[in-house]
Structure 1
Amino acid sequence: MKLVLALLTGLMFLTACEMQQDPLKDAPEAVREGRAPEAEKPVQEKPFSKDAMFIDAPTVVNGRVGSPMEFKINGRVMVEGVTYKLSIDNLADFEGATFDAATGEFKWIPTRAVVAGLPSIELPLRITLATDASAKYPLISVEKKTLSLMVVNVYSKPIVQTITGNGTLTTGTTHYLDYTMEDIDAFSEADVTLDVRDCGIASYRDSIAHLVSVRNITKSTTTPNKYEGRIEIDLRNADHLASTYYCFALQAISKHGVKSEIYKRDITINTRPKSTRITMESAPTLLVGQSAQIAFTIYDTTANGSLRMVSMDDIAKVLPGSTLTCKSNYTSKFQLDCSGYITTTGLTAPTADAVYNIKMEVENTVGSVSVNTTHTLRINVKAVTL
């Protein structure tokens, strides 16, 4: 009896030791290795396109020795929740220049040492927009832009310094850009004249100067001889324009008839979104008990928009057993490809011809403007004849 008790005691001791040595032996691998469960880990999004990142700043800034060059540099990232920083890579090349990343204000007064005795000089200003890393977007995305600062040594004629503002416009609307200029001969706004001209470059599609006008000229309250104002681009009746690049030019004329250099401004015009079209409005006529495969396309006739299915009736509730899906075309964002299976096997034989309607609402977006179109797919079911 004592021998049996000794054996039992030994087995219990060994079992207890084994349990104490590896208490997580049967636990999942992630738990045994101290890893957080997958469900608790932040889901990392795929890197977004650089098309969602913008640096808003004039491409060219004109100025002169001894006069302040002031303009704004702004950034945009069109992805919700993403923050970013703006910086100037070569700020040290511009002695005395300041850049406020919070407001986007760049200020610099060129000195004669900059132009080194030349009539004028062109200096590159290199800007970087970098996103902040986050759990959702751990990869940093970077966008760069280089501006040209044109500095003249001696003032000899008026200077159009900047034209700023969003350069992507949509027909059917009115847009505004801001300008700044310098005219030493002017004592007030009445002495300043600004003309809008065509760029005169054959590579641009059409003339748009007739759609551009100077709305006001205001004397700067902070800088002598400086004037500023707004330019209106009226595209309310410009649906004839194609979606492409355009250009207009601004020229200042002093009260003595002296003309400035022409300041050219490139813009992109997108045609406003149009109602979408559908390649099939009526499905093939079916008898009760018949089935058919269907395929059709919903598209933007201008090929400029981006389509999204807002809502679609559940075809299975109308015709049990039927299916219908619409997906974005993998090469053309202005197109939705739809396919489905229609069956009438679940219907009670109708005594008269019946039409079943499936409604689909599609959104067409160009830039920041959208238009919705409701399409109806009619499914005709023929009555049973006795």
Structure 2
Amino acid sequence: MKVLLALLTSLMFLTACELQQDPIKGASDQVRQGVPPTSNKPVAAKPLPKEALQIDAPTLVNGRVGAPVEFKILGRVMTPDVGFKISIDNLADFPGATFDDTTGDFKWVPSKKEVGSFPSMELPLRVTLATEVSAASPTISVEKKVISLVIQNAYSKPIVNTVTGPTSVTVGSTYDFDFTMEDVDALNETDASIQVRDCTTSYYSDSIAHLVEVRNVAANTTTPNKYQGKVRLDLTKAGLLSSGTYCFGLQAVSKHGVVSDLYKREINIEAKMKNTRMTMETAPEVRVGEKIQIGFAIYDPTGNGQLTMKSQDDIAAILPGSSLTCNRSFSTKYQLDCKGLIDATSATVKVYEVNFVVENAGSNSAQKVTTNHTLRINVKAAVTP
């Protein structure tokens, strides 16, 4: 028995020693090499950028009790092959309202219950655009918009119901906006009129009424007292307009001279993209055998674009030992900061050229301008003692 106990004790001792020598024996190479299991987790796909999701609907809708409120809510996704759906989060707050997510038609007849004894009531309609999961968009991206429905309790003057059209435009083109209006006093479309008015200048927008003209007014064939038409924004001769938020207003005028409240339509205008510039086109003089540090910037003179280096010569192949990198500025998208080393140790006396191709794109990528730049490096003969 003593011999058996001794053998068992020895066996246990040897086994313990083996475990102490390699406590993770048999583990995966990842564990044995000290790599945390979470370090190789798949990275979740990022949602699409906000600029890629657009809800096309008026921000403001005017209506009145007992009269149909009708407008479209449509959407766009600026990334190809990505499906989406439009939904209204609080449709139940509008009794009797319908929304067709195929055609985008929203229809509702407000009642006294929604307004009560108030002269008017503003009601928020909450809209959501959500993308569908696909190979082109493996994660769901969401955009939301609140549409303000201002409902008058009683008719006292004409009403501009909606003004719909693009929310972002670029200088150099024309854009049409559709409007709808209500005028109980008008017997036909010749009695109904719409006028363009300035918006009050504010700290964030300027009026562009002088660039807008009324194209036509026509009667709605299905709804009495309702009229519709178009106004056109002409930016073909607005080359000096800078990027920013602008506004124009519309007012309906009855045949008796009664004027509606001003309907303000804000719009983001993107200035025409311009060619980029360089702060240095000729490097400081360098002599054979010398090395110098250089730094310069490539920028959009309007300060509106987003710059991308499309191609850049390999300076090391032109001047061995040299280096040059151009990266987007830390604080701005419209500037590339370039820095590097010019090594003329093995250079010959001549002018070397380093070429760049830079793309200047608008914030919504509607327009792009490409510019070719050249950095000239004049290598001169070494100074002899």
Q: What is the letter of the counterpart of residue 302 of structure 2? A: T
Task: Indicate the residue corresponding to 1:91 in structure 2.
Answer: 91
Task: Indicate the residue corresponding to 1:375 in structure 2.
Answer: 373
Contact 2:201 2:207 in 1 (8 A): no
CA distance in 2, matches of 1:210, 1:26: 76
SS of 2:261 mapped into structure 1: coil
Contact 1:204 1:247 in 2 (8 A): no
Taking the TM superposition and a 5 Å limit, the aligned residue runs for 1:1-386 are 44-133=44-133, 140-347=140-347, 349-350=348-349, 354-366=350-362, 367=364, 368-383=366-381
Identity among equivalent pairs (%): 56
Q: What is the letter of the counterpart of residue 91 of structure 2? A: L
Normalising by the residue count of structure 2, what TM-score does the alignment of the two structures yield? Answer: 0.81
Contact 1:42 1:136 in 2 (8 A): no
CA distance in 1, matches of 2:217, 2:355: 53
Q: In 2 relative to 1, CA 321–103 (structure 1 residues): closer, same or farther, beyond 3 Å?
A: farther
Q: In 2 relative to 1, CA 77–364 (structure 1 residues): closer, same or farther, beyond 3 Å?
A: same
Q: In 2 relative to 1, CA 285–126 (structure 1 residues): closer, same or farther, beyond 3 Å?
A: same
Contact 1:85 1:101 in 2 (8 A): yes
CA distance in 1, matches of 2:357, 2:80: 25
SS of 2:216 mapped into structure 1: coil
1:209-256 Cα distance to aligned partner (Å, 9 max, x none): 111111122222333332222221122232443333222210011222
Contact 2:60 2:150 in 1 (8 A): yes
CA distance in 2, matches of 1:133, 1:317: 46
CA distance in 2, matches of 1:330, 1:193: 52
CA distance in 2, matches of 1:294, 1:256: 72
Contact 1:276 1:373 in 2 (8 A): yes
CA distance in 1, matches of 2:305, 2:237: 19
1:306-345 Cα distance to aligned partner (Å, 9 max, x none): 1111222232332233322211112200111112222233
CA distance in 1, matches of 2:255, 2:244: 37
Contact 1:215 1:230 in 2 (8 A): yes
CA distance in 1, matches of 2:170, 2:162: 22
Task: Indicate the residue corresponding to 1:12 in structure 2.
Answer: none
Q: In 2 relative to 1, CA 346–187 (structure 1 residues): closer, same or farther, beyond 3 Å?
A: farther
Q: What is the letter of the counterpart of residue 158 of structure 1? A: P
Q: What is the letter of the counterpart of residue 246 of structure 1? A: Y
CA distance in 1, matches of 2:47, 2:122: 36
1:182-228 Cα distance to aligned partner (Å, 9 max, x none): 22333333222111111224435433211111112222233333222
Contact 2:183 2:192 in 1 (8 A): yes
Contact 1:43 1:136 in 2 (8 A): no
Unpaired segments of 5 or more residues in structure 1? Answer: 1-24, 31-37
SS of 2:372 mapped into structure 1: strand
CA distance in 2, matches of 1:371, 1:243: 16
1:91-147 Cα distance to aligned partner (Å, 9 max, x none): 011122111223322111223333335433222111122333457766544332221
Report the RMSD for the aligned CA atoms in angstroms: 3.0
Q: In 2 relative to 1, CA 345–203 (structure 1 residues): closer, same or farther, beyond 3 Å?
A: closer
Contact 2:82 2:136 in 1 (8 A): no
1:2-32 Cα distance to aligned partner (Å, 9 max, x none): xxxxxxxxxxxxxxxxxxxxxxx798679xx
SS of 1:284 mapped into structure 2: coil
Q: Which moved more, 1:336-345 or 1:109-118?
A: 109-118
CA distance in 2, matches of 1:230, 1:346: 69
Shift of 1:43: 6.1
CA distance in 1, matches of 2:383, 2:148: 80
1:31-63 Cα distance to aligned partner (Å, 9 max, x none): xxxxxxx99x97643345434433222111011
- How many pairs are equivalent? 352
CA distance in 1, matches of 2:47, 2:293: 37
Contact 2:168 2:270 in 1 (8 A): yes
CA distance in 2, matches of 1:356, 1:45: 44
Normalising by the residue count of structure 1, what TM-score does the alignment of the two structures yield? Answer: 0.81
SS of 1:282 mapped into structure 2: coil
CA distance in 2, matches of 1:81, 1:344: 51
SS of 1:46 mapped into structure 2: coil
Contact 1:44 1:135 in 2 (8 A): no
